[in-house]
Structure 1
């Protein structure tokens, strides 16, 4: 062994390699190679390379991770020739043009002769190329996907024995335009968030929104996945069954910012959910949810207003002119498609339907449910840390207060976690030892606003040169912006989307949330007011509106 110091982790890796390779027979079969790939976590090509090294020199040190640079005993290129070779490698050989090694050598030789240098032989140049990272080289010449299929080990697939062992969640922009429910003017393409159970391929929940992917859409999708859905289906007039509900044991997600949010990670830990992120740049680790998204988009392409998968399929079709479905109608249509079509079709990988697989692979114990579904949603909402001041909590330049906060005064100066719903800043939830405390703006005359309105108002004030922002100025600006939107003679798509964001706030001030047990039309209605029953994932939501 060399006298050079070897890092402990490198030596442990060499020991593992030696142990595995020592068990391989002289003539390798496909099964032997696959086993070694799983044990070592390397590609097929690397297994053959290591096996050859180990047979030539059965010492453990021969399997140490190789340091970059030329191999021992290989005479280095002349520095001036090295410069020419490296330049042609970067600009010519390692490109999508994929020139041959012979053509690469000719280009190098021509420049060497022009500068009075002795060109390397084509064989010497080939050995120089062998020192390069072959996976990275192929990625530059042929694309990352083909390089990964050839060089990266994929010894198995993601499997789960029981329902809810693994749930995958992801977003996509739906390939269809939705319209305003009143004017029927196009609003744009909504974002669809889907959750799938890996074991049974059942869709356990979904959420539609006009906003980009966010922690809120994840929270609403996950709440929909966890809740029992009979009342949710009945409210939409859907007669099919959807038995998928319960807290999953593990959630597999990609590396979107919303999935790395501290609030999401903490909430998963709170409910003993193992959160697993895909390795960056490896979409195959989310294969189940990606295939489900493709299936759902294929069905959506049959709808009026579809954008199809690409511009070639769409042709000269004007998707926005063809659009007819509102966001709520699309939600109901998707629920029909999921429960009445997708769940009832035989899945090729399962050789049975997702519905039958769910029932067959379900645990003997009942699915785990949160004791308080409302608290479950609150726990997954976005959060901020704030210190309780003498006049309450200050969040988004709005002062919030609740009578329960007076008992927390003077305890210490620690920061409290504040949960908020970006669609409605007229209340926040303060997490305390005794549970969440609902706090509202100290000035109860303030209208309900969305976080998007708040940000637009702050942006407008900054552009106007107002550096010091106060609560009164923000609400005054928002009201002025609302008046401009409401009085616009020609509504653009952006304005229609802005109005759609606060549609649920126009009917009244606050939303009263009750557990999903019985329809909330049994609740007493305030005097001189009507009511409309709306359902929120996990809740019946009663929105009160004035008669006028």
Structure 2
């Protein structure tokens, strides 16, 4: 329960009446995502009235443009001018200097907290002291040491990319994603969807029976410094669902040792499969993996699911005092409060949308144009009259539809 004194203290920090704090709390508990706290037409949350497209511009300038500038005589002023310039290009009303200053201060405080949390949570360099599942989840990509073939003609199509999400406390794999394309922002979004959602429908789709109850919304994502882990889509999605981002120190791979060891373990198992290339380029030609390759992407996904769900999760783990990861998950989960997606019919789709790549566009006479593809919706006619900039989220592997918002909480499918 939230006491009256706590509500009044929160009201002072937010500059609202204490009764408003209770209303915001009820709204958030009913649907625990940050967009539920956005202002309604009859109310106002200080600093929260900005159009979503303007927020996107500020986010890009602060996280991408500003770090790329080597020397700025007046960073605060240059920040405001760059935001105004970008808003003018897409026809948006630029925010005030004080609004930009508040956003910049908030971003710097978040980054400072994330950096400060790193040494405090370390027991030894590269080792985390984590008490509960989902407290820290490590994500990493690796190119699997195996050649796969096409389902159509059996020709070799290359080595797949494996993306893994590992719960540090229990050493359980919360989800994985396999694809032939190099991982990008959409890959991370799809992987997080598997982390957060029940896996029964996915397991049925690929035809594998496995006991895989591990899921939930992470509290902290521990990542390396790859571009897809610093994308606008990942940052905005994590803000929406209350996920903090923590990055490894540059040049110190041992800070991601848990998931690196898991990658090595899985690649050692891959060596026994047809088409295995081995982890070293030396002697790869002599192994002639192209001649033995016979697994398709679906075959390899089934094998990986069985390897993780049936074998790895059920085998004694040295880092857990010989306790299997699945048993460790059950032990820790009994005393921890997990975070799940809202119980709504479109919760899965809304979660994925928040992590898809973002583009800003304006509606033209022939509709919305993205990647030389034209999209149309009846609402576009009204949006074009008001010359509103829209936020477009898209899936790089499926451009048959996009999701468009004109500054509101919801997206329409086009």
Query: Taking structure 1 as the reference length, what is the TM-score of the superposition?
Result: 0.50
> CA-to-partner distance for each residue in 1:10-69, whole Å, 9 max, x for gaps?
xxxxxxxxxxxxxxxxxxxxxxxxxxxxxxxxxxxxxxxxxxxxxxxxxxxxxxxxxxxx
CA positional deviation for 1:315: 6.6
Match of 1:368 among 331, 340, 343: 340
Aligned to 1:416: 390
Aligned to 2:100: none
Supply the distance in 1 between the matched residues of 2:133 and 2:250 (Cα, whole angstroms).
27
Question: Does the C-alpha gap of structure 1 residues 156 and 207 become closer, same or farther in structure 2, counting only changes over 3 Å?
Answer: closer
Supply the distance in 2 between the matched residues of 1:237 and 1:212 (Cα, whole angstroms).
25
Kindly indicate whether residue 361 of structure 2 is the aligned counterpart of residue 386 of structure 1: yes
Aligned to 1:262: 232
Kindly indicate whether residue 405 of structure 2 is the aligned counterpart of residue 431 of structure 1: yes
Aligned to 1:242: 212
Conserved 8 A contact 2:127-2:257: no
Question: Does the C-alpha gap of structure 1 residues 375 and 234 become closer, same or farther in structure 2, counting only changes over 3 Å?
Answer: same
Conserved 8 A contact 1:267-1:379: yes
Supply the distance in 1 between the matched residues of 2:339 and 2:290 (Cα, whole angstroms).
42
Supply the distance in 1 between the matched residues of 2:409 and 2:272 (Cα, whole angstroms).
51
CA positional deviation for 1:156: 6.5
In the TM superposition, 1:141-290 aligns within 5 A as 155=125, 157-290=127-260
> CA-to-partner distance for each residue in 1:265-320, whole Å, 9 max, x for gaps?
11111110001111111111111111111111111111110011114465711011
Aligned to 1:298: 268
Supply the distance in 2 between the matched residues of 1:406 and 1:246 (Cα, whole angstroms).
40
Q: Which consecutive unaligned segments of at least 5 residues does structure 2 have?
A: 1-122
CA positional deviation for 1:213: 1.7
Supply the distance in 2 between the matched residues of 1:219 and 1:272 (Cα, whole angstroms).
15
State the secondary structure of the residue aligned to 1:195.
Answer: strand
CA positional deviation for 1:388: 2.4
Match of 1:358 among 325, 329, 332: 329
CA positional deviation for 1:192: 0.6
In the TM superposition, 1:133-144 aligns within 5 A as none
Supply the distance in 2 between the matched residues of 1:231 and 1:354 (Cα, whole angstroms).
22
> CA-to-partner distance for each residue in 1:435-475, whole Å, 9 max, x for gaps?
11112xxxxxxxxxxxxxxxxxxxxxxxxxxxxxxxxxxxx
Conserved 8 A contact 1:204-1:245: yes
In the TM superposition, 1:377-526 aligns within 5 A as 377-411=352-386, 413-432=387-406, 433-439=408-414
Q: Which consecutive unaligned segments of at least 5 residues does structure 1 have?
A: 1-152, 440-548
CA positional deviation for 1:183: 1.2
CA positional deviation for 1:366: 4.4
Conserved 8 A contact 2:206-2:298: no
Question: Does the C-alpha gap of structure 1 residues 155 and 426 become closer, same or farther in structure 2, counting only changes over 3 Å?
Answer: closer
Question: Does the C-alpha gap of structure 1 residues 258 and 155 become closer, same or farther in structure 2, counting only changes over 3 Å?
Answer: closer
Larger Rg belongs to: 1
Supply the distance in 1 between the matched residues of 2:168 and 2:206 (Cα, whole angstroms).
27
CA positional deviation for 1:178: 0.5
Supply the distance in 1 between the matched residues of 2:243 and 2:288 (Cα, whole angstroms).
44
State the secondary structure of the residue aligned to 2:127.
Answer: coil
CA positional deviation for 1:238: 2.3
CA positional deviation for 1:359: 0.8
CA positional deviation for 1:159: 2.4
CA positional deviation for 1:379: 1.3
CA positional deviation for 1:184: 1.0
Supply the distance in 1 between the matched residues of 2:224 and 2:336 (Cα, whole angstroms).
31
CA positional deviation for 1:405: 2.6
**Which one has more relative contact order, counting CA pairs under 8 Å at least 6 apart?**
2
Conserved 8 A contact 1:404-1:437: no
State the secondary structure of the residue aligned to 1:349.
Answer: helix
CA positional deviation for 1:434: 4.7
CA positional deviation for 1:382: 1.1
Question: Does the C-alpha gap of structure 1 residues 180 and 410 become closer, same or farther in structure 2, counting only changes over 3 Å?
Answer: same
Supply the distance in 1 between the matched residues of 2:401 and 2:205 (Cα, whole angstroms).
26
Aligned to 1:321: 291
Conserved 8 A contact 1:170-1:289: yes
